[in-house]
Chain A
């Protein structure tokens, strides 16, 4: 978020009068506004004005403040905290202040010194811009001026949303840097130069042409998500979980497998080694849709837990701003924030330094409204400007509740806002059931609006199968309580079948290994075919027992073994094979089917 150096006029220069941790107070700057960026001390540390009194301004400093002295200079810049938006974002890694970490590392900066400066977007790199407009045309905010090819990605260059409408005086195709002019716009307020990149205040929600309701899911490839608890494009999801429950693995699986056009991943107050692994994987992993590296559709923001705490707060807003920018181009964007708890803790720390009256557990009273402001940036919208296009921003926020206790303020405040709740369950994680999403606590408010899509695109029986499966798990829960008291043998056959079917549902359907080469992601159609097969097994088991078979015998039927191994199936015919398997599973009560089930998978005959 480089801000052009302000002229050091007398009104724009003040001095430090007090300092404690990341908060300093400065006097002698009468024209400051709240939210303005200032440069603090001889190293020109970035700071933001939080509040103003007649005699002094309170500033949160985004970098390490050790070494600051009373009387050190503070410079106003006249601008709020802004993100630079334009070609070069994709594939980049930034810190919470949009400093290009990879570029800095390449230049030898292996540690981050306070006051480090580098432009977010490479000012030298030339991009090939192709205009879609002609001089003389009328254009307004959000209109697409032309495109830049970033590998396979079409980066659409927009008239910035804060620019007024006008007549294009000039617009030209050519090789330009992000800050060179590509044209000029004559507006009522005078001529405005047009460039590939523009800056936008990170705390301001970018305007759109109107909101749309939920209509399509963000397909994640994860069975428990897509089939049980789907999130809509433009929706929100929260993922709370204690440590070791697989929060980060799940977020990263979403980054890899979700069918978003652009993924913005914010590592907020999390582990440095994890970011390093993520980065190297994103370079190696192939995007199934483009054939290029996954990194080419991703923007990574890494503000690890040991980096300055105030910048952690900014990192989430930076991520949302970049995500909105791609949404405005007409893309489906997923913003993955890991973890919003660290962001909330950053607010708590700053609030404590400001000696604000604390709310619950020391968090500031405005915790809820800040979280709301963040999650409200999600949505499926008609983008501003022409040509007409829709874009979506889906937000998935991880929450790290202390002690894994979901009653804490950040989880509860997030729950009030999010449409999908993926509750990570410590017990499941300990049983190595991954993804450890608990089916009793989790919910999705998007099932209703998405059912039509699923019926049309996936299968007409989608909602019926889904309900059946969830009811089976609920039944299992009740039965297990009884088993705890009397043992499994006391149950009637029907209930013992339900228990075995539920177990199959958990093991052969819900469990999904994030690193498995074939099973890590499955299409919704394959998911439904798997679910049908599991539910068919329940019917088949029931019929087998009715025909006099013992449960122990029935469970050893090869056709069930096949079902257990179906997660390893790959190829184009998986769905067909699963459908055939489901038919055989439902009908092996007929004597003599046992031996036939020994046939190789996929060749079993349908009845």
Chain B
């Protein structure tokens, strides 16, 4: 509508991230604005509200050091759009998508509204292509598929970043090309951003990665834009160019806090723990951009990292994330304390899309049965472990003690793989190794023909024979 930039004076109110200025005709809801203070440095903002007298602008960099008299608001005539192109791979960008690596400017192929558009549910293709992440606990028990959104729930000090970096650099689609990774840092310490960069560099995949960095000392409100920029590029690569794209976002908790800061400044009615009532919807507009589309070869897989404040999975951010995403990988402080890496707590983990991506012709025909068996035994082992703290190990039967030992072995040997990447074959081989510690009669979830083929007793038959020793 307006090609020429229009300048507004008459700022009426400055408060936190909000700026209220007298209105002129023709301003659009969601329009991008530039804000210049006394020193002339440019800040960026977006129109949030329009009424008869004034317009409310959210300023991404905050309003500190602005004054009412000399601040000028410039209207750009449209919403914030990001120029996207495959050239952005291999580059480091700021939280709004501008290069900060000293490299050449990016020539965009097209530009897109960073808010994206909802995918027509009828146009979505069901995600069903197995991704081999190289992590045993994920590949066998909670398989990831292309187009899924699977968060990592972590606690302060737990190695979620290391796990995410391993997945991003190690992920393969069976028999196909590797992934390109878009990394979105939201309020992340520089150390973490450097870590990811180094991880991509050492794996030789830096040219297949685009990093969008909003670091801890960058403007908080800009965090609301960073994942949207990252996803906009991801959509272009996946749905326009047909690439397999993985988006790693860290940390969703910082994002939620930025949203709360803005909501508080707008004096909105707070929901749980001060977060706005639309936190669910807002997070959904990020995570739901994952998926596959009929007739388009690419896929967009999202791996958000969520730090659970005080390890509390019922905190609104992990809670709402869990309601939107298709499962979760949960890290355990206890396993981490015992130097198990990755410290994945298999019990609360879940992949809702797993069944579609495994089995005959995809992974192994016996995949589901083996996963169920491992899970059931481990769950039983954990239950026994709790019981032992009350009644002592001596009160257990021999069979129960074997399950207890299995749980330990499952954690240290199967889950705890350290720095190595395991192929799916290696993961299955290891699974059978730990299952070999138990008599085959106890593997009730695995069909007999599968046991015939794969089950071998560990250590030359220590576990042979039926468990008759139990009980008094």
Binding site for B on A (CB under 8 A): 16-21, 25, 64-71, 93, 95, 101-102, 104-105, 109-113, 242-244, 267, 269, 271-277, 279-280, 302, 304-307, 309, 342, 345-346, 348-349, 352, 358, 361-362, 400, 402-405, 430-432, 484-485, 487, 489, 515, 550-552
Contacts and interface: CB of A to CB of B under 8 A. Distances in A.
B355 interface: yes
Contact of A65 (B29, B278, B280, B281): B29
Nearest to B392: A487
Given A105-B123, A432-B376, A515-B355, A70 B23 contact: yes
A244 B348 CA distance: 9
Given A306-B284, A352-B269, A487-B395, A68 B29 contact: yes
Interface of B: 1, 23, 25-31, 48-52, 56, 79, 113, 115-127, 147-149, 239, 268-272, 276-278, 280-281, 284-285, 288-291, 293-296, 314-316, 319-320, 322-324, 326-328, 347-348, 350, 352-353, 355-356, 372, 375-376, 379, 390-391, 395, 470-472
Contacts of B316: 402-403
A19 B29 contact: yes
B269 A69 contact: no
A349 B278 contact: yes
Given A19-B50, A112-B119, 20 more contacts: A18-B51, A20-B51, A21-B49, A66-B30, A68-B28, A69-B1, A70-B50, A71-B26, A111-B120, A244-B328, A271-B324, A272-B124, A272-B291, A273-B126, A362-B269, A403-B315, A403-B319, A404-B314, A485-B390, A550-B471
B390 A69 contact: no
Contacts, number: 211
Given A93-B121, A243-B323, A432-B379, A362 B23 contact: no
A280 B29 contact: no
B262 to A, nearest CB: 12
A551 B118 CA distance: 59
Contact of B28 (A67, A349, A405): A67
B72 to A, nearest CB: 21
Nearest to B46: A66
B127 A269 contact: no
Contact of A306 (B123, B289, B295, B347): B289
A277 B356 contact: yes
A69 B79 contact: no
Contacts of A67: 28-31, 79
Given A18-B50, A302-B121, A515-B355, A431 B278 contact: no
Q: Which of B122, B148, B315 neighbours the largest number of chain A CB atoms within 10 Å of its CB?
A: B122
Contacts of A104: 120, 122
Contacts of B323: 243, 400
B284 A269 contact: yes
Contacts of B326: 271, 273-274
Give the 8 A-B residue pairs with the shortest CB-CB distance, closest first.
A66-B30, A403-B314, A305-B284, A306-B288, A276-B124, A18-B51, A243-B322, A101-B122
Contacts of A279: 121-122
A484 B127 CA distance: 44
A272 B271 CA distance: 25
B28 to A, nearest CB: 5
Contacts of A550: 471
Nearest to B368: A515
11 contacts: A18-B49, A20-B48, A67-B29, A104-B120, A273-B290, A275-B124, A306-B285, A349-B281, A352-B277, A550-B471, A552-B470
Contacts of A349: 277-278, 281
Contacts of B294: 105, 110
B115 to A, nearest CB: 7
Given A19-B49, A69-B27, A110-B293, A243 B319 contact: yes
Q: Which of B30, B121, B326 neighbours the largest number of chain A CB atoms within 10 Å of its CB?
A: B121
Contacts of A309: 278, 281
B277 A362 contact: yes
A66 B322 contact: no
B391 A487 contact: yes
Contacts of A487: 391, 395
A304 B149 CA distance: 15
